[in-house]
Amino acid sequence: MTQQNLFLGIDCGTQGTKAIVIDATSGKVLGLGAASHTLISGANGRREQDTHQWLDAFTEATHRALQQAGVDGQDILGIGVSGQQHGLVLLDDQGQVLRPAKLWCDTETAPQNDRLLQHLGGEQGSLERLGVAIAPGYTVSKLLWTREQHPDVFARIAHILLPHDYLNYWLTGRACAEYGDASGTGYFNVRTREWDLPLLRHIDPDGRLEAALPQLIEANQAVGSILPAIAERLGINPNAVVSSGGGDNMMGAIGTGNIAPGVITMSLGSSGTVYAFSDQPSVSPQASVATFCSSSGGWLPLICTMNLTNATGVIRELLDLDLASFNAQVAQAPIGADGVSMLPFLNGERVPALPHATGSLHGLTMTNLTRPNLCRAVVEGTTFGLRYGLDLLRQAGLQSQSIRLIGGGSKSPVWRQMVADIMNTEVICTEQSEAAALGAAIQAAWCQSGESLAALCARCVSVDPASLSKPVATSVSAYQHAYERYQQHVASL
């Protein structure tokens, strides 16, 4: 029997935590586990989470994955953690969490973001200085908001961490950060790969924030080994190495083999993301394109839409449809949904850049207001947002020979074909749709073994030939008309 090299990948997302166990020798996924989180929602766009839920879900998902894999946790050689980007976790000097984590989808800090953007000289000033245009979801405005709304909490800050940094801290007792996830904070320069200390001093002249920054480490560096009590709680080898980990998009890139130019990863999750590897920090003049660092030593120009399966989910609940019935309704309606258009901006929107927008339906008549058309209109509307973003990436010079589709929406054949036709590019799913958890496990193997990331991805990432969807010429032109109609509605906002 060949020696197994077992690694655990964790993805702590908005809706829940996923755990995956891989054998890096065979490249096979041996077990999966999951546990859910709830959201704290409040007026004016508050979206927060209790970090205790993450720890409980981390533990439960790990136990389930190990059980399904049928392996002994004592044989796990390394752990990698992927986390939702942009969230803010504040700790005091005892390592205790000071308040619920503010998430990427929280828009309560939009006024603070506007003021910080003004300080940076607008979107162009922000792009020139940081390489990204800060947006309301980024971490930086959450710091200013905390200072203004919770001065008592602010006065006790000893560590400012992103969600995945916090989980690494829980695992190892060490506060550090990795370039990919750090580049979504809004106080990090993606060109020079350094924290922007003057910006933090602008928020807090006393230097508390600067002192609370985690140390930056490279993507293939270990944070450390797991604390004995946590190893026991998880049922894992206490000598397991904890890798640097990263943001969910960076780990999703590794988990889809997107570590060289040419491949585009598109995620159909609660939010939608489109990103591709670049070996240069070529910053797009378009503020909507975030040129983040990758967690594989390069850059990862990315666009993110705020509304995807969360918008389709609302329509499903409204019409009381399960997933299969919803997909059947979508398939019944024609391309363009008989003229029904939905701008699905239920959370405000980042791409197109309309943070204060709300959702709307257009083109309704006595005859076209049907369940199938409503279902198709929300799927088309969310996908048009991704097309808008992909066009921005293409304008910035990114090549797109193929799209690797991940996330919950990728499981729908109707939606896959829609993506192929709207983007006019062939689409294929990776065998493992939990790409961020897989990427985190692959990164742990990279960190622990020193083998090249390319070799590990070649072994551990495989595509599902049955999912291949090629654009159909007649559909491509029909969608183009519907997309132009969508653009006109967006322009009127």
Q: For 413-434, give one letter per residue: b (16+ CB within 10 A) or e.
A: ebbbbbbbbbbbbebbbbebbb
The reply to whether 274 and 373 lie within a common domain is: yes
Which domain-ending residue is among 225, 248, 271? Answer: 248
Helices of type H across 173-214: 179-182, 197-203, 208-211
Q: Band of the pLDDT at 101, cuts 50, 70, 90?
A: very high
Does 94 score more than 80 pLDDT? yes
- Residue 277's pLDDT is what? 93
Active site residue 248: yes
Q: Using the structure block, give the residue that is written with the tokens 């998880």.
A: 234
Which domain-ending residue is among 213, 248, 283? Answer: 248
- Residue 400's pLDDT is what? 80
The reply to whether 202 and 274 lie within a common domain is: no
CA distance 248 to 271: 12
Angle between helices 413-423 and 473-492 (to 10 degrees): 80
DSSP state of 295: S
- Residue 397's pLDDT is what? 83
Residue 38, φ and ψ in degrees, nearest 5: -115, 160
The reply to whether 381 and 479 lie within a common domain is: yes
List, for residues 395-450, the tens digit of each pLDDT value.
888 878 899 999 889 999 999 999 999 999 999 999 998 999 999 999 999 999 99
Question: What does each C-alpha distance from 156 to 90, 95, 152, 173, 328 come to in angstroms?
Answer: 9, 11, 7, 19, 53
Nearest to 102 by CA among 88, 90, 84: 88
Task: Name the least confident of 21-35, 69-83, 338-352.
Answer: 338-352
Q: For 327-366, give one letter per residue: b (16+ CB within 10 A) or e.
A: bebbeebebbbbbbbbbbbbbbbbbbeebebebebbbeee
The residues near 124 (Cβ < 8 Å, ≥ 6 apart) are 287
- Rounded to an integer, the average pLDDT of 338-366 is 93
Inside any domain, residue 362? yes
CA distance 348 to 359: 8
The reply to whether 269 and 134 lie within a common domain is: no
Nearest to 69 by CA among 38, 106, 30, 42: 30
Inside any domain, residue 438? no
Inside any domain, residue 343? yes
Nearest to 258 by CA among 300, 223, 304, 230: 300
DSSP state of 207: S
Residue 275, φ and ψ in degrees, nearest 5: -155, 160
- Residue 347's pLDDT is what? 85
Nearest to 172 by CA among 246, 238, 223: 223
Task: Name the least confident of 124-128, 160-164, 270-274, 362-366.
Answer: 270-274
Does 1 score more than 60 pLDDT? no
Question: What does each C-alpha distance from 344 to 25, 169, 309, 352, 396 come to in angstroms?
Answer: 44, 37, 10, 11, 26
- Rounded to an integer, the average pLDDT of 303-320 is 95
CA distance 246 to 160: 16
| Residue from 248, 338, 391, 464 carrying the catalytic annotation | 248
- Rounded to an integer, the average pLDDT of 445-470 is 96
Inside any domain, residue 443? no
Inside any domain, residue 156? yes
The reply to whether 372 and 242 lie within a common domain is: no
CA distance 385 to 395: 16
Q: Band of the pLDDT at 456, cuts 50, 70, 90?
A: very high
- Rounded to an integer, the average pLDDT of 171-184 is 97
CA distance 162 to 214: 10
Helices of type H across 195-266: 197-203, 208-211, 228-234, 248-255
What CATH number corresponds to the domain at position 323? Answer: 3.30.420.40
- Residue 262's pLDDT is what? 85
Q: Band of the pLDDT at 2, cuts 50, 70, 90?
A: low
The residues near 38 (Cβ < 8 Å, ≥ 6 apart) are 49, 53
The reply to whether 28 and 74 lie within a common domain is: yes
Residue 197, φ and ψ in degrees, nearest 5: -65, -40
Domain range for 147? 6-248
The reply to whether 149 and 277 lie within a common domain is: no
DSSP secondary structure, 429-479, as one string: EBS-S-HHHHHHHHHHHHHHH---HHHHHHHH--B-GGG-B---HHHHHHH
- Residue 74's pLDDT is what? 97
Side-chain-side CA neighbours of 333 within 13 Å: the count stands at 28
List, for residues 197-215, the tens digit of each pLDDT value.
999 999 999 999 999 999 9
- Residue 407's pLDDT is what? 86
- Rounded to an integer, the average pLDDT of 15-36 is 97
- Residue 214's pLDDT is what? 98
The reply to whether 306 and 204 lie within a common domain is: no
Length of the chain: 493
Q: Band of the pLDDT at 256, cuts 50, 70, 90?
A: very high
Inside any domain, residue 442? no
Which domain-ending residue is among 248, 272, 289? Answer: 248
The total number of structural domains in the chain stands at: 2
The residues near 318 (Cβ < 8 Å, ≥ 6 apart) are none
Q: State percent of the chain over pLDDT 90.
A: 89
Does 282 score more than 80 pLDDT? yes
As a whole number, the mean pLDDT across the chain is 95
The reply to whether 174 and 67 lie within a common domain is: yes
Quick one: tokens of 256? 């889809």
DSSP state of 415: H
Q: State percent of the chain over pLDDT 70.
A: 100
The reply to whether 331 and 184 lie within a common domain is: no
